[in-house]
């Protein structure tokens, strides 16, 4: 007899139930999160989790892989078709291993990579000194220019001086369109590889609301669980341009995955990625992608009306970065207050931030998950008003950048004050009632 989770492990069962309830009752506005379909979760929770498939289709190290081969090939074909590329690797377990695999494939130890600095909206795996990439390779970073925008002329100048072997574009907290064509020209001029890490905006690229890097980059990496709305996972795409530069790239990437970085792929995850790629190829996905941006832009305008300062003055994509220094509120304090008000997001550094990352001055928010729930532009006014009301409750709760002890004492005081605050849970109640109108699948 099949023993259900409820009977086998009631503790985990009830924690999952509690998390489902939490996800239902709040506005999930973490820019990198989403709600997958039931079909994606069904594939993820399937018997494919039982299998070892080290290697690649047709060349596995274990027997019994004929079905796993079909699953993986289906995922590869769907991705190739969706993005218009000749090679796709669907095995990276997540974004960080995907990027590491690229570095192992195209760089020798000590060679140079160049991406946007973490403090300006880049990613830790783009050469940050505390990550593997920054420890194994030489890493230099470019910064944002005036108005927190990419300054392509400055980047070109720096690339020509530094001569990296790998140039990286694609970000985690950049609300503006990326000019991949210009990046491609810069990489060509320097004779280096261009990798576009489009994890955040893949769904927008598929929907045609952000230009694709495929004609201009050699390699594209992406996670599958953000705007693409699949399971946790990642893919590495090699473009025609990449194959022309090095026909051995697919082989090098496969060797980088195994034996380089990983063991057996997670076949259940691969199947779930395949499901999400099928969903992403539909007309309704395109509509959803367009709506993400429409919602973000409507929300940006409403937040501005409420006196919030938006880094770069607005958004072209799914995310908004608010600089809270004008409100005299620390970003982390605001994020806690907003969670108490039923709005979930993350605190984030802003360009030129004098605060350490754990007490960053801004908050990052995004519209992918609320768009999946069915919210439209007209709903953004209400959301912006909740932001204003929640942040008002903590206005003045800023923290010093230069006094660690005082910062820690004040932070504890602020948290205690927020626990006693009655208005924040009152907003959360309104948010919960509002969320009921937008059921999750």
Count residues contacting ligand DSN (CB under 6 A)?
Answer: 4
Nearer to ligand DSN, 123 or 210 (CB): 123
Is 222 an interacting residue with respect to ligand DSN (CB under 6 A)?
no
| Rounded Cα–Cα distance for residues 421 and 416 (Å) | 9
- The CB-nearest residue to ligand DSN is 32
Nearer to ligand DSN, 74 or 148 (CB): 148
Q: Is 223 a catalytic residue?
A: yes
Q: Is 69 a catalytic residue?
A: no
Is 239 an interacting residue with respect to ligand DSN (CB under 6 A)?
no
Give the other-Cβ count within 10 Å of 305's Cβ: 12
Give the one residue of 27, 32, 56, 170 binding ligand DSN; rule: CB under 6 A: 32
Question: Could you tell me the smallest distance in angstroms from the CB atom of residue 116 to ligand DSN?
Answer: 13
Catalytic residue among 125, 202, 222, 223: 223
Residue 437: both structure tokens together = 């109108």
Q: Is 197 a catalytic residue?
A: yes
Catalytic residue among 72, 143, 197, 254: 197
Q: Which residues between 62 and 101 bind ligand DSN (CB under 6 A)?
A: 95
Q: Is 413 a catalytic residue?
A: no
Binding-site string for ligand DSN from residue 358 to residue 397, where x marks contact by CB under 6 A and - marks none = ----------------------------------------
| Rounded Cα–Cα distance for residues 333 and 10 (Å) | 35
Nearer to ligand DSN, 172 or 315 (CB): 172
Q: Is 364 a catalytic residue?
A: no
The answer to whether residues 376 and 295 touch, using CB atoms and an 8 Å cutoff, is: yes
Q: Which residues contact 212 (CB under 8 A, 6 or more apart)?
A: 83, 84, 180, 205
Is 172 an interacting residue with respect to ligand DSN (CB under 6 A)?
yes
Q: Is 385 a catalytic residue?
A: no
Chain residues binding ligand DSN by CB under 6 A are 32, 95, 123, 172
Positions annotated as catalytic residues are 52, 54, 197, 223, 226, 232
């Amino acid at each position: 007899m099949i023993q259900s989770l409820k009977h086998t492990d009631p503790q985990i069962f009830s924690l999952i139930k509690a998390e489902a309830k939490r996800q239902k009752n709040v506005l999930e506005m973490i820019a990198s999160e989403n709600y997958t379909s039931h079909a994606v979760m069904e594939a993820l929770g399937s018997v494919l989790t039982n299998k070892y498939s080290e290697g690649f289709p047709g060349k596995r190290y274990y027997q019994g892989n004929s079905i796993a081969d079909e699953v993986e090939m289906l995922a590869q074909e769907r991705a190739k078709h969706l993005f218009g590329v000749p090679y796709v690797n669907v095995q990276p377990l997540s974004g960080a291993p995907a990027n590491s695999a690229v570095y192992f494939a195209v760089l020798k130890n000590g060679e140079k990579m160049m991406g946007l600095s973490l403090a300006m909206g880049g990613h830790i795996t783009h050469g940050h000194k505390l990550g593997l990439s920054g420890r194994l390779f030489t890493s230099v970073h470019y910064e944002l220019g005036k108005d927190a925008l990419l300054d392509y002329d400055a980047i070109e100048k720096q690339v020509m001086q530094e001569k990296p072997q790998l140039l990286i574009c694609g970000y985690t907290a950049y609300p503006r369109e990326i000019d991949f064509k210009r990046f491609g020209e810069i990489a060509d001029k320097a004779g280096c590889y261009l990798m576009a890490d489009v994890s955040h905006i893949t769904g927008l690229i598929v929907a045609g609301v952000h230009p694709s890097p495929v004609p201009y980059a050699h390699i594209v990496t992406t996670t599958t669980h953000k705007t693409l709305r699949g399971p946790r996972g990642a893919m590495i795409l090699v473009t025609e341009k990449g194959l022309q530069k090095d026909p051995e790239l697919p082989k090098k990437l496969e060797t980088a995955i195994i034996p380089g970085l990983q063991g057996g792929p997670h076949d259940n995850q691969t199947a779930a990625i395949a499901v999400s790629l099928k969903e992403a190829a539909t007309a309704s996905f395109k509509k959803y992608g367009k709506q993400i941006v429409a919602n973000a832009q409507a929300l940006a305008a409403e937040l501005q009306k409420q006196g919030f300062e938006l880094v770069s003055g607005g958004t072209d994509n799914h995310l908004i970065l608010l600089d809270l220094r004008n409100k005299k509120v620390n970003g982390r304090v605001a994020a806690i207050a907003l969670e108490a008000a039923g709005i979930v997001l993350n605190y984030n550094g802003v360009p030129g931030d004098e605060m350490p990352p754990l007490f960053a001055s801004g908050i990052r928010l995004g519209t992918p998950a609320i768009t999946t729930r069915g919210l439209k532009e007209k709903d953004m006014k209400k959301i912006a008003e909740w932001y204003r009301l929640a942040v008002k409750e903590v206005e003045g709760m800023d923290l010093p950048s230069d006094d660690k002890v005082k910062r820690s004492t004040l932070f504890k005081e602020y948290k205690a004050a927020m626990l006693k605050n009655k208005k924040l849970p009152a907003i959360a109640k309104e948010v919960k009632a509002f969320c009921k109108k937008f059921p999750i699948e």
